[in-house]
Amino acid sequence: MSTTHHTKALVIGSGPAGCTAAIYAARANLEPIMVRGLQPGGQLTITTDVENYPGFAETIQGPWLMEQMEAQAAHVGTKIIDDIITEADLSVRPFRFKGDSGDVYTCDVAIISTGASARWLGLPSEEAFMGMGVSACATCDGFFYRGKEVAVIGGGNTAVEEALYLTNHATKVTLIHRRDELRSEKILQTRLFKNPKVEVIWDTVLEEVLGNQAGPALALGGSTTPPGVTGLRLRNVKTNAESTINVDGAFIAIGHSPNTDIFKGQVDMDDSGYILTKPGTPMTSVPGVFACGDVQDHTYQQAVTAAGTGCMAALDAERYVAELESEATAAE
Whole-number Cα distances in Å, 120 to 61, 86, 139, 262: 22, 23, 17, 21
Instruction: Give the span between the Cα atoms of 219 and 144, in whole angstroms.
Output: 29
Among residues 244, 197, 3, which one has the least CA distance to residue 101? 3
Contact 38, 115 (CB under 8 A): no
Q: φ, ψ for residue 174 (rounded to 5)?
A: -105, 120
203 C-beta neighbours (distance < 10 Å), count: 14
Among residues 89, 1, 76, 88, which one has the least CA distance to residue 37? 88
Q: Which residues contact 23 (CB under 8 A, 6 or more apart)?
A: 69, 72, 73, 76, 78, 314
> Which residues are tagged catalytic?
137, 140-141
